[in-house]
Structure 1
Amino acid sequence: MTRTSQVARVHDQGRPPPGLVTPGKARVDPVTIMTFFLIVLFVMPARYVVGPLGGAGSPSSMVAVLLLVWYLLSTLSPRWTPIQGRQPVRAVIVFFALAVLASYVAAATRPLSADEVNAADLGLVLVGGWAGIALVTADGVNSMDRLETLRQRIVLGASFPALVAMVQFFTGIEVTRYLALPGLVEKGSAVLFEREGFFRPAGTATHPIELGVVLAAVLPLALHGAIYCRVPKQRRKRWIMVALIAGALPMSVSRSAILGLFVVMVVLLPTWPPEWRLRAILIFGVASIVMRLVIPGLIGTVLNLVSVIGSDENSTTRTGDYDAVVQAVTQRPLFGQGFATYLPRVYRVIDNQYLMSALETGLVGVLALLVFLLSGWVLARSARRAAADEETRHLAQCLAASMAVALFGFGTFDAFSFPMITNVMFLILGCCGALWRLQTQPGRVPYDSLD
């Protein structure tokens, strides 16, 4: 697959006229700030946190909260406000936050243990960070060039945990213990998981499942960059990143990862030209053969995991949660028992975010979760229809594929309990909102900067 040279790129849509930028005034670029966030998110192991803050104390979550503060302070000035025109992501975030707040109030109406109170409070901090990521991205990216830069940096960032995962898989060495900053506390085990005789790497994520879904969600963005690479010298590097992400994905030995890969193929392949589809199928076949030769048994193990879904012990254990969930939800159907208060050590492990949301935030929270996931898909598809060039249409479809990975993947594990995948998906939602705004409101003059 090579880039289509005949396609003209439309990058100037949404670019502010030169006269609007005050000469000599330092410009604060949201994409640059988001780059720092990506470094913290992907390079620093997620299981290391600031001790007293627990799950909300991961460095990436703390930076995300600062993003929200920055966004809100910027709205106080008409000159620097990022709010310009319609942006559906704002409504999505407000609805999601209100659903969580309603569950927080509902939690106060029942007896709570000290652990549950702390978890509920820290849950609000997490939601604030997720909101900051989505809002800064959706309103802060002011041109197609900057959106492309952010896409490149997301892919580059995700390549790091993929590379770490490969080292873990082949050596069994938990290299992330050497990446933690002094003063952080380890939350979780540094021992690698194993399945069917293979190490299950987590990279810098907290769990192999989380790593696999993150890589599946970023893979479409990596493919877009490699296919439409306009600089020949960079083309090899971009395909190497695709190979890293796609190669590390099955090494997680996770059904969720394989499901995500299947979703990506279902969403992207029908929109590709016939010659692209043929090449993709050939490359996939050759890669499978090479992996079978280099890592005997891995492909068979992964395929077996998928083939026994619904009949193996792992699946039956998960479906066995349904009765307990239904009974608990019927007691608090609308707003649940409180976001982040369903503690596994107190109740039970629920490997399904939809069920977890029903328990913690009720039916209103499940609706908010579906709105969050589906809105990204709808915005990306709307941007695809509005786009004037094929490259932008392809980017929109790739963002839709990323949201589809989450839509299905969230049904296989409690995603909101894992910082990396949640932060990545709110970031991709923000990218969907930014692309929608740039394609549907190209004539609107964006703000000068966030300052």
Structure 2
Amino acid sequence: MNADPVTILSFFLVILFVMPARYVVGPLGGAGSPASMVAVLLLVWYLLSTLSPRWTPIRDRQPVRAVIVFFCLTVLASYVAGMTRPVSSDELNAADLGLVLVAGWAGIALVTADGVSTMDRLETLRQRIVLGATFPAIVAMFQFFTGMELTQYLALPGLQENGSSVLFEREGFFRPAGTATHPIELGVVLAAVLPLALHGAIYCRVPQQRRWRWVSVALIGSVLPMSVSRSAILGLFVAMVVLLPTWRPEWRLRAVLIFGFASIIMRLLIPGLIGTVMNLISVIGSDENSTTRTGDYDAVVQAVSQRPLFGQGFATYLPRVYRVIDNQYLMSALETGLVGLVGLLVFLASGWLLARGARRVATDEETRHLAQCFAASMAVAVFGFGTFDAFSFPMITNLMFLILGCCGALWRLQTQVSRVTAEPVI
């Protein structure tokens, strides 16, 4: 790779976070978002680089490569299996475009895992992830308070709208999506990025920058409840459960005090919002939304039992033809079968395991904390993927494959250091 991967990935982050995800190249539908197209080019760049011994990124052990190959093979197997049954033209088009999406996800993870060369470059990428996620948070805050859909002015000419531009509402509050496609997606994205933002603010050594990094933390944290989404709040809870036990006692005390103070401020500035969000959480399992989701289980079990191993084909379970399934684990079981569900679980678990493995071998506190923050981000995804069909939403899916790549890069860099320090001096 003769170009700097972090620079290329930074361009990708601008496309991912700044351009509204619902605007696509018309004929390509959901696979035609600018971010998805850039992601495919990343895979092409990665594969071409492997042809040259000088530029190949494949030099050290990297478990992410095996994870991505396995995940892609499960999708390809489901595609082949899906073609053995009668399929409509809509399903066939969706299956073909689904392969394009998966190619892009693979490109993001592989370029990041193998291309980030030093801890300094990984830190630069972390900063840019946080900076990128701050933009949809700002847009969402504007949407929440004004009810105006600002994103219609951010799309490139020639793109088509693939989704509604009308703001959702719940309990009298606007539910902003920022530049994401849905408030749930925005909420889970912000919950996954918040640990990375906290790391940058805590360990910032430049006083002038520290102030702005805490502003990013405040923006991301305050917009989370504005999404009026249970997934966002519970994702925040998951992130804190992962982080708090590893913090110093004084950090935990500050976190509790800041959280309490922030809750009071939110209650004063936006009366009813905190109560609405807490009520949504308290009625989980008994409200109409929850019962509708659990009502999907019987239909899913019946459909999976007909094609248990490889499913009916990735991306072919179209909501307009079948039904809406707000659970990625169920969707994967339907579309890619039990084998594909294992592929999804391996993808999510590997990020956690690589981050935790990097934490174990890291020798300094800052790197150990960074590894724990990446693990927290993956934990948010493990939970969040059970609350909506995440692979249907480009921002969260692209982000999580990027974070998987970051976990792989961190593991590789730390194990390199560990091997070097362990070698005897002759």
| TM-score category (smaller protein) | over 0.9
Q: Which has the higher contact order (CA 8 A, sep 6+)?
A: 1
The separation in 2 between residues aligned to 1:151 and 1:444, in whole angstroms, is 25
2:391 is aligned to 416
CA apart distance, 1:442: 2.6
In structure 1, what residue type is equivalent to 2:230? R
> Which residue is equivalent to 1:229?
204
1:13 maps to which residue?
none
From 249, 252, 260, the equivalent of 2:224 is 249
Matched, 1:160 2:135: yes
Report what 1:287 is aligned to: 262
Residues 361 and 418 in structure 2, CA contact (< 8 A), matched pair in contact too: no
Task: Find the residue that maps to 1:112 and give its secondary structure.
Answer: coil
- What does residue 50 of structure 2 align with? 75
Whether 1:357 and 2:329 are equivalent positions in the alignment is no
2:423 is aligned to none
Tell me, in whole angstroms, the C-alpha distance in 1 between the residues paired with 2:305 and 2:97.
26
Structure 2 counterpart of 1:11: none
3-state SS, counterpart of residue 336 of structure 1: coil
The two structures have a TM-score, normalised by structure 2, of 0.98
For residues 205-231 of structure 1, give each alpha carbon's deviation from its aligned partner in whole angstroms, at most 9, with x where no partner exists: 000000000000000000000000011
Output the amino acid matched with 1:403. M
Structure 2 alignment gaps of length 5 or more = 421-426
2:225 is the alignment partner of 1:274: no
Q: Which string of whole-angstrom CA distances, capped at 9 and with x for unpartnered residues, describes residues 257-301 of structure 1?
A: 011000011000000000000000000000000000000000000
2:354 corresponds in structure 1 to 379
Q: Distance in 1 between matches of 2:205 and 2:256?
A: 24
Question: Does 1:427 find its partner at 2:402?
Answer: yes
Aligned-pair identity in percent equals: 86
Distance, in Å, in 2 between the alignment partners of 1:76 and 1:218 is: 34
- Give the letter for the 2:379 counterpart: A
Once residues 160 and 150 of structure 2 are traced to their aligned partners in structure 1, the CA distance between those partners, rounded to angstroms, is 16
Taking only aligned residues, the RMSD between alpha carbons, in angstroms, comes to 1.0
- Is 1:102 the counterpart of 2:77? The answer is yes
Cα distance, 1:368 vs structure 2:
0.4
DSSP-derived class of the 2:174 partner: strand
> 1:146–1:444: structure 2 CA closer, same or farther, 3 Å change rule?
farther
In 2, Cα distance between equivalents of 1:54 and 1:391: 42
Partner of residue 94, structure 2: 119
- Give the Cα separation in 1 of the matches to 2:98 and 2:225: 31
- Describe the SS at the equivalent of 1:441: helix
Residue 150 of structure 1: CA displacement? 0.1
Quote the residue 1:3 is aligned against. none
User: What's 2:191 paired with?
Assistant: 216
Cα contact 2:2–2:55 (8 A) shared by 1: no
In the aligned structure 2, how far is the partner of 1:50 from the partner of 1:230? 43
Separation in 1, partners of 2:419, 2:37: 33
Change (3 A) 1:354 1:248: same
**Number of equivalenced pairs:** 420
For the residues of structure 2 that align with 1:376 and 1:189, how far apart are their CA atoms?
33
Q: How far does the alpha carbon of each residue in 1:315-349 deviate from its partner, in whole angstroms, 9 at most, with x for none?
A: 00000000000000000000000000000000000
**1:394 corresponds to 2:362:** no
CA drift at 1:443 = 7.6
8 Å CA contact retained: 2:239, 2:380: yes
1:173-196 C-alpha deviation (Å, 9 max, x unpaired): 000000010000001111000000
Match of 1:76, SS state, is: coil
What is the CA deviation profile of residues 37-92 of structure 1, one whole-angstrom value per residue up to 9, with x for unaligned ones? Answer: 00000000000000000000000000000000000000000110000121000000
Q: Read off the aligned partner of 1:220 and give its amino acid letter.
A: P
Equivalent in the alignment of 1:448: none
For residue 417 of structure 2, give the secondary structure of its aligned residue in structure 1.
coil
Match of 2:104 among 112, 121, 129: 129
In the aligned structure 1, how far is the partner of 2:179 from the partner of 2:346? Answer: 29
Q: Output the amino acid matched with 2:282.
A: S
- Between structures 1 and 2, the one with greater helix share: 2
Provide the TM-score with structure 1 as the length reference: 0.92
2:106 & 2:2 partners in 1: Cα distance? Answer: 23
How many angstroms apart in 2 are the aligned matches of 1:303 and 1:416?
A: 27
Unaligned stretches of 5+ in structure 1?
A: 1-25, 446-451
Deviations 1:138-196 (CA, angstroms, capped at 9, x unpaired): 00000000000000000000000000000000000000000010000001111000000
Q: Deviations over 1:12-56 (max 9, x none)?
A: xxxxxxxxxxxxxx9510000000000000000000000000000
**Is 1:322 aligned to residue 297 of structure 2?**
yes
| 1:43 aligned onto 2:18 | yes
- The amino acid across from 1:336 in the alignment is G
| AA at the equivalent of 1:395 | L
Once the two structures are TM-superposed, the CA of residue 361 in structure 1 deviates from its matched residue by 0.2
